[in-house]
Structure 1
Amino acid sequence: MGNKITKQKLGSIVWESANKLRKNLEAHEYKDYILGILLYKFLCEKQTNWLLSNGIWKSDLKCLDSKFDFSNFKFDDNTSFGSTEEIEDTKHSCIETNGYFIEYRNLFNSWIENKNVFEIQDFQLAFNEFSRSINEKYDYLFQDIFSVFEKSLDKLGSNSTEQKETINNLIDTMNKIPTSSQDYDVLGFIYEYLIAQFASSAGKKAGEFYTPHEVSDLMSKIIAYHLKDKNTISIYDPTSGSGSLLLNIGDEFKKYNKGSSPVTYYAQELKNETFNLTRMNLIMRNINPNEINVRRGDTLETDWPMFKNEDLSTYKHLTVDAVVSNPPYSQEWSSEKHTNDPRYIEYGIAPKKKADYAFLLHDLYHVDPRDGIMAIVLPHGVLFRGNAEKQIRQKLVENHQIDTIIGLPSNMFFGTGIPTIIMILKKQRPTSDILFVDASQLYIKEGKNNKFSKSQIKKIADTVNNRQEVENFSKIVKFEEIKENDFNLNISRYIDNFKKQEQYDLHSLMIGGISKQELDSYNSFFSVFKNIKDKLFKLDQNNYLNLKVDQDQIRDIVYLDSDVNKYLEHFKQLSNNFLNHFKTLVPSLIDIKNINSAEIEKLLSDYIFNQVEQIDLIDKYDLYQIVIDNIDVIKENIELISKYYIDNENEAKQNIHLEILKDESTVIWEAKKKNSEDVVVKEWTSTILDPVYIKNNYFKDIYDYLNSQQERIEEINSEIENTLSLIEQEDKTEDIYDFEKEEFNKTGIENLAKSIKKSNQIVEVDSFEEKIVNVSKLYEQQVEIKKYINSTNKQLINDSYNKYLSLSENEFYELLVIKWLNNIVRMFEQKPVDVIDSYISKFELLSKKYEDTLEDINNQILKSEKELLNLLKDLTGEESDMRAIDELIKILGGN
């Protein structure tokens, strides 16, 4: 019943589509065709749903086609229409409301149903007819959006047959992707996926105007938080690219405001293919066309919004609540044309070869002066470059308009590895300081690129939104200090976040021991576990510390400490509290319908940050990440189960959970006996509850024993392999060894073992004969265990499926809780172990660091030299060789 698709599944479908286009297109062109078909499918489904919701019966949809034959059609009470005039009125109403109309024969589902008679001309004509149907009011939104299908089908094949085959394959693949709302940006994900897969050829062509969703997510959280108290907002992206920034801000704001249409979108993009992508993305999010304002044009050359039909006399300076952009970095522009441009006149003109500040000032010009906000991604150099850029930067600081600067890791963006920043600006600020955040070291690796995890995004956003100072991470810098630094905003001037090189103590290197200063760097650990330091270290006569136990005893000493055990126990209690909290949110299966799947993430996250007390040595953001890493399956299951209960709540249907269990399972049956009509379950799976949960909870003893026997099979294989490896080469004969395949013959070994037993000969220990007999016995054991596993597993599969189908509502609920939370609980309890283990490793390395002092090394050298001298003195040889050896003896200090 669910219509969700995971990113992993979507990625595999997209890859399948790309492979079908590989022979015809360049890698960077795939997206135009894949995304175009997906959008068309969406528009077809949107129109169909609109018609059905307006009283048109599904059986009558075929009438909405100019080529429909009405000769045998009767207009009566059994149809949706009373006349052809009503049909035409319905078409016009659709165009008026949705902005377009698609003939029935051109609907995506009609293509699927009629694929055997589908021709490439039909495909091309469908898009031509779509263009002709567009409501003039929505020309800006739909015109030429499918131009690739109207004008560039020749790229899909050299003739109509090849083109038809390619299109049919693409349609079949796109049919697998639901166009209904997902929990993520589907088009953006596909776009990013294709860029990542073909980065070598597509990166520079595509990546330059795509903002990775982690960066977009961070900017959105900051902007939406600033605007959270508003009922409606307007947002603008003058370099919209894929449109992901606008969409993410809209989605984030809607978490604060549940209105039906709280966001108005403005977007401008210069490149046609990405202008289309912006429009596609906004359309597919089912945003009201009246709330979408898009334009293709050069942001720097001609200011916008708003012009109507390119008429300059209709210009109107528009200010919005939020401007967001990721413009092309250090682009050339016609700076000389803009000396009197009102966007720049107060601040100055950006250099001809570096338009970064031109984009920034354009954005700022459109920010609402009362309480608007803007966020822009820029190259790191804008913080410190001189001349005209310094003049602009100084003016922005003096006007108190720069609110926050966030340093990003390198390699965050496709196609460029240069360091970048996010700058947050507001036109009116009550303070003159600037918050600096150095997130350059805060990332996880994904392939060649760096990215933020969700917990890292939240940490940065929380720091900015709450204006927090965090040591070596964020700092609020007063205007006076910035002025003293000549308006240089380089983050490293204000935050020291460089990785420190390991320090070495001279005394420790020469004589040994660990300085108090060096051990003090572990005080965060010792302050929590107060007895550990004295248990591990002792002072020597030089007032330096030495390990007083063997290095291999450190772990045991730490884990036997009572404070450490209390600490670990605390996390077990934390896990238990989290489990109980979850059960208060979702107390039973039927209560799931009262929980919004999108809200469960926030409710659990709020618990971590608001109800869990601060824990020494553990960052709450790490606990949050554990929840986030496991939340998707919870949300998917809640949405699925909720739909079943909501769909049936007016029918008073009993045992809805059994319907869920049955619908979500797949079974393979087999005959009990050959030619028998009685069947048993050969194999079963379930999308909602994996068989392992049934086996482990209701058939645990037998399931555990089966697993142990499977492990025994692996042990026997290892024993056989080890024993056979000891057989000498001369003992290998063709009876037991296949020289061509270089492997032993099982049947040959078993036959030889029988002969040895029959001969009654004495088998000596470790002899060839003993090895053969032992291997034969292992083979016999293996056969018996496999027979047991096979028969028992068959019964377990059958019994577990029967139990699955008969689960009570409460049993089903409890198994879901196990499925959803077991991994979270396990990871919560593992977190302190990982922290303690990291300190144990540090102590072990510390003990090795000064293990060999310079004095020890020097003594060893002297000892080795003395031994070498004695050896050299005993040497005899030719006169020339001995002269050389005598010289070496002198160098080594010999007489």
Structure 2
Amino acid sequence: MAIKKTELYSSLWQSCDELRGGMDASQYKDYVLTMLFMKYVSDKADNDSDFLLEVPEGGSFTDMVALKGDKEIGDKINKIIGALAQENDLKGVIDVADFNDEDKLGKGKEMQDRLSKLVGIFQGLDLGANQAQGDDLLGDAYEFLMRHFATESGKSKGQFYTPSEVSQILAKVVGITKDTAQDQTVYDPTCGSGSLLLKAADQASRGLTIYGQEMDNATSALARMNMILHDNVEAEIWQDNTLSSPQWKEADGSLKRFDFSVANPPFSFKAWNTGLNPADDEFGRFEYGIPPEKNGDYAFLLHIIKSLKSTGKGAVILPHGVLFRGNVESSIRQNLIKQGYIKGIIGLPANLFYGTGIPACIIVIDKAQASSRSGIFMVDASKGFMKDGNKNRLRAQDIHKIVDIFTRQTTLPGYARMVNYREIEDNDYNLNIPRYIDSTDIEDLHDLTAHMRGGIPERDIDALGSFWKVFPNLRSTLFKPSDLKGYSDACIEAAQVKTTILAHQEFKTFSTRALTVYEQWEAEHLSRLESLTVGDDAKALIHTLSEDLLTRFTQADLLDKYDIYQLLMEYWEETLQDDVYVITQDGWKAGNVLRTLKVAKGEKLKETPDLVINKVKYKSDLIPPHLIIARYFADEQQAVNELQAKKDEATQAVETYIEENSSSGSGGGEDGLLEEAKNDKEKVTKATVTARLKALKNALSGDGEIAALKKCQSLFNKEAAANKAVKGAQTQLDQAVYDKYPELDINQIKELVIEDKWLATIKGDIEAEVERVTQQLANRVKTLEERYAEPLPELTKTVSDLAGKVDEHLKKMGVSW
């Protein structure tokens, strides 16, 4: 059975838990990623005869498994890793972490147990089963770990990772296409863990030739491992200071020129000129000016520009300050603008990066069109994001919108436009985006005349023009002309606005049109989903589905195509990708499978079971039981629901009777008839009632209490009988569902998964989006109606009337002012 991505992620993060305590995330990432690497290489070598790495005897993950419980496990793991490193020229790459470090891993039995558990977690992962074409299971898992490591490492140690979402933007706007030749080069002078390079190379159908340099030794080792985990074994990664000791050079000693460059240099790096005399730079990188001594932002940008071919293209992440800071940076900026190298600037939201919370921008370089360039295309994407813990994160729709707008150079008010050089010159070559794009929200102004005399300003109603284009007659249903010119009166009470809109024929027509677009998309791709099979490219599938959905909703009224796109991409992340991954690994027969959930002694169950049969817990990876119930056992479920309703009634009857007949109840008084039937926790239970009746068996008085106890006992018995009926019916239903799983044929599985699960969910999400858009109109109309419902004269009169009534009451009470 294939590993679901979410299951793999959970296991990997569990491995991190084993290391917490002795070190922080910036250190234990080295252990976890090394272990992941060893497991991957061992499994890959066992399954792929063409794999480029050799696993020597005594250098495999299997050798690690044999060490579980060994007193010398730490030292021996080091030797196993060393053997693999020696065989594949990976010394200093995969053997950075010391698995025999007592300060980090504990001494004696503590280290023995910790490392044994760590090996055991990875032992349970079959990474060699990842055969789905185009599905980068390990690469995505690596990204998952890096993101979490960066989050936990904090500002000072999280700079080894560029968020995947930002990497995607750089990779897509730098100019690489599917047709870009494999021998074209991509370069990152500050490559960190290599995510930017990999995202860029992934844009070409056959990849690119990769070059990277990273100053930090441990981080460059991560990059090398990352390349191998992404099947880029031949990528060139060098460890050294790029500015003072650039590794990649031409035969004549000049800097090597690349076709593409992507980079996220350390922001405002103070020690950029260590080991370097910029005034006498042998590579001529500072011909447009020498950056400030304590700020290296432009040093990296100038290095990248010098490292590009005459037709080269680059995309660099830098802090916003490079766009407007003065003095020598202003001079450098002016020179670069005059050279025509800057194709565009994309402003990003604040708090995206792990090393800093300040906002950043992407500067896109294009030497090929420099001489004919007449302006710079600017995008203000600062407001498109979601909150993710204490960080901001770009959504799939934000990425797509940025790339679409930038690639097509589309003007969008408040978001993007081409700024000509004359305008930039008039602003003294200051490139601060707000100077050129006003993305501030329009202020919701109150109308004093409307507050004084009543009525709703027509300018506020006209501002909803996009809705009136779609609902031309709805406006007259909601508003009517006022006696005051330029104002209208409400026709519908504020509380009835939404109901009125939803019931209006124009809304029903709009909703039908939107769902028709979806249904056409569904019809187009139904056969593609039904033909999904082992080995298919999962990422290609979601790309086709999502791009077509976005295209079809481009012309949809009121609906934002990127919002619709986001609905599908969120469902992909939450559910669909796991399902598709399982199918492309194991086929549709996976729908027949129920996994038995087992848990080691002393540990908690990590997954919620779908079914419990005879105390055995089961989980389905593809078809949750409720789908089988809805299609095949609806009558049985209805019977369970009815029995549950009766059980709830019986429970309510018990609770009501106890409350009415105890001293704490509203009708019980101080001497409630059930007061003596309470336990130590002041609760009346069936057992306490039975015990009290037994105690009163020979009593000469207390007929009222006995009657109450017997009534209570009878109600408890009815509740128990009702509960037993529910459990019996539910057990029968669960057994029927359990028996149904192996009986499902392929066509039935496809119906349940594609129609009942995938398409039903997507359609429901789009229906909700249609209503959400309409809710925006309803909320605005309601706000306007309530805002001006009572003009000042009416409010004054109301206050005066209320004040008069208060005075009258005070006089009657003998109080006078």
Report SS of the residue matched to 1:573. Answer: helix
- In the alignment, the residues of structure 1 paired with residue 361 and residue 33 of structure 2 have an alpha-carbon distance, to the nearest angstrom, of 30
Alignment of 1:270-289 (within 5 A): 270-289=215-234
8 A Cα contact 1:682 1:797, kept in partner: no
- In the alignment, the residues of structure 1 paired with residue 450 and residue 160 of structure 2 have an alpha-carbon distance, to the nearest angstrom, of 54
Question: Which residue identity does 1:494 align to in structure 2?
Answer: Y
User: Which residue of the partner structure matches residue 391 of structure 2?
Assistant: 449
- In the alignment, the residues of structure 1 paired with residue 185 and residue 439 of structure 2 have an alpha-carbon distance, to the nearest angstrom, of 37
- In the alignment, the residues of structure 1 paired with residue 780 and residue 513 of structure 2 have an alpha-carbon distance, to the nearest angstrom, of 24
Match for residue 486 of structure 1 among 428, 450, 460: 428
1:421 paired with 2:372, answer no
- In the alignment, the residues of structure 2 paired with residue 619 and residue 660 of structure 1 have an alpha-carbon distance, to the nearest angstrom, of 36
Report SS of the residue matched to 1:592. Answer: coil
1:811 paired with 2:811, answer no
Report SS of the residue matched to 1:579. Answer: helix
User: Which residue of the partner structure matches residue 572 of structure 2?
Assistant: 631
Alignment of 1:159-178 (within 5 A): 159-178=107-126
- In the alignment, the residues of structure 2 paired with residue 216 and residue 715 of structure 1 have an alpha-carbon distance, to the nearest angstrom, of 57
Deviations 1:299-349 (Å, cap 9, x if unpaired)?
Answer: 222334139xxxxx9734211121111111111135582123344333111
User: Which residue of the partner structure matches residue 251 of structure 1?
Assistant: 202
Match for residue 763 of structure 2 among 825, 828, 834: 825
User: Which residue of the partner structure matches residue 193 of structure 2?
Assistant: 242
Structure number with the bigger relative contact order (C-alpha 8 A, sep ≥ 6) is: 2
1:124 paired with 2:78, answer yes
- In the alignment, the residues of structure 1 paired with residue 762 and residue 715 of structure 2 have an alpha-carbon distance, to the nearest angstrom, of 42
Normalised TM-score (structure 2): 0.87
Aligned-pair CA distance for 1:226:
5.2
User: Which residue of the partner structure matches residue 222 of structure 1?
Assistant: 173
8 A Cα contact 1:680 1:798, kept in partner: no
8 A Cα contact 2:350 2:359, kept in partner: yes
- In the alignment, the residues of structure 1 paired with residue 232 and residue 57 of structure 2 have an alpha-carbon distance, to the nearest angstrom, of 24
Aligned-pair CA distance for 1:874:
9.0
Question: Which residue identity does 1:265 align to in structure 2?
Answer: I
8 A Cα contact 2:343 2:376, kept in partner: yes
Distance 1:587 1:132, change over 3 A: closer
1:29 paired with 2:27, answer yes
Report SS of the residue matched to 1:546. Answer: strand
Aligned-pair CA distance for 1:441:
0.7
Aligned-pair CA distance for 1:228:
4.2
Comparing 832-841 with 169-178, which one deviates more in the overlay? 169-178
- In the alignment, the residues of structure 1 paired with residue 417 and residue 712 of structure 2 have an alpha-carbon distance, to the nearest angstrom, of 70
Distance 1:498 1:276, change over 3 A: same
User: Which residue of the partner structure matches residue 674 of structure 1?
Assistant: none
8 A Cα contact 1:682 1:798, kept in partner: no
User: Which residue of the partner structure matches residue 622 of structure 1?
Assistant: 563
1:187 paired with 2:169, answer no
Report SS of the residue matched to 1:295. Answer: strand
Match for residue 702 of structure 1 among 620, 628, 636: 636
8 A Cα contact 1:667 1:681, kept in partner: no
- In the alignment, the residues of structure 2 paired with residue 681 and residue 351 of structure 1 have an alpha-carbon distance, to the nearest angstrom, of 70
Aligned-pair CA distance for 1:640:
3.5
Report SS of the residue matched to 2:41. Answer: helix
Distance 1:856 1:728, change over 3 A: farther
User: Which residue of the partner structure matches residue 792 of structure 2?
Assistant: 854
Matched residues, number = 780
8 A Cα contact 1:41 1:108, kept in partner: yes
User: Which residue of the partner structure matches residue 5 of structure 1?
Assistant: 5
Aligned-pair CA distance for 1:246:
0.9
8 A Cα contact 2:279 2:290, kept in partner: yes
Unaligned runs of 5+ in 1: 55-93, 308-312, 646-656, 669-678, 878-884, 890-895
Aligned-pair CA distance for 1:5:
2.6
Report SS of the residue matched to 2:78. Answer: helix
- In the alignment, the residues of structure 2 paired with residue 503 and residue 426 of structure 1 have an alpha-carbon distance, to the nearest angstrom, of 44
- In the alignment, the residues of structure 2 paired with residue 157 and residue 609 of structure 1 have an alpha-carbon distance, to the nearest angstrom, of 50
User: Which residue of the partner structure matches residue 60 of structure 2?
Assistant: 107
8 A Cα contact 2:176 2:200, kept in partner: no
Aligned-pair CA distance for 1:383:
0.9
- In the alignment, the residues of structure 1 paired with residue 242 and residue 746 of structure 2 have an alpha-carbon distance, to the nearest angstrom, of 59
Aligned-pair identity (%): 27
Aligned-pair CA distance for 1:839:
1.6
Alignment of 1:864-875 (within 5 A): none
- In the alignment, the residues of structure 2 paired with residue 768 and residue 852 of structure 1 have an alpha-carbon distance, to the nearest angstrom, of 60
User: Which residue of the partner structure matches residue 500 of structure 2?
Assistant: 557
User: Which residue of the partner structure matches residue 728 of structure 2?
Assistant: 791
Normalised TM-score (structure 1): 0.80
8 A Cα contact 1:404 1:425, kept in partner: yes
8 A Cα contact 1:408 1:421, kept in partner: yes
User: Which residue of the partner structure matches residue 838 of structure 1?
Assistant: 776
User: Which residue of the partner structure matches residue 599 of structure 1?
Assistant: 540
- In the alignment, the residues of structure 1 paired with residue 476 and residue 530 of structure 2 have an alpha-carbon distance, to the nearest angstrom, of 48
If you compute each CA radius of gyration, which structure gives the higher value, 1 or 2?
1
- In the alignment, the residues of structure 1 paired with residue 172 and residue 538 of structure 2 have an alpha-carbon distance, to the nearest angstrom, of 20
- In the alignment, the residues of structure 1 paired with residue 243 and residue 562 of structure 2 have an alpha-carbon distance, to the nearest angstrom, of 40
Unaligned runs of 5+ in 2: 131-135, 599-612, 665-669
Distance 1:780 1:555, change over 3 A: farther
Deviations 1:122-161 (Å, cap 9, x if unpaired)?
Answer: 2233344445444xxx4xxx22124434586233345444
- In the alignment, the residues of structure 2 paired with residue 451 and residue 416 of structure 1 have an alpha-carbon distance, to the nearest angstrom, of 14
Aligned-pair CA distance for 1:452:
1.0
Comparing 773-782 with 541-550, which one deviates more in the overlay? 773-782
- In the alignment, the residues of structure 2 paired with residue 581 and residue 596 of structure 1 have an alpha-carbon distance, to the nearest angstrom, of 18
CA RMSD of aligned residues (A): 3.5
Distance 1:639 1:19, change over 3 A: closer
8 A Cα contact 1:409 1:420, kept in partner: yes
Aligned-pair CA distance for 1:297:
1.3
8 A Cα contact 1:209 1:328, kept in partner: no
Distance 1:708 1:432, change over 3 A: farther
Distance 1:461 1:144, change over 3 A: same
8 A Cα contact 1:554 1:840, kept in partner: yes
8 A Cα contact 2:22 2:103, kept in partner: yes
1:204 paired with 2:204, answer no
Question: Which residue identity does 2:314 align to in structure 1?
Answer: M
Question: Which residue identity does 1:819 align to in structure 2?
Answer: K
Report SS of the residue matched to 1:209. Answer: coil
Report SS of the residue matched to 1:378. Answer: strand
- In the alignment, the residues of structure 1 paired with residue 705 and residue 790 of structure 2 have an alpha-carbon distance, to the nearest angstrom, of 50
Report SS of the residue matched to 2:137. Answer: coil
Report SS of the residue matched to 2:96. Answer: helix
- In the alignment, the residues of structure 1 paired with residue 758 and residue 42 of structure 2 have an alpha-carbon distance, to the nearest angstrom, of 37
- In the alignment, the residues of structure 2 paired with residue 283 and residue 748 of structure 1 have an alpha-carbon distance, to the nearest angstrom, of 68
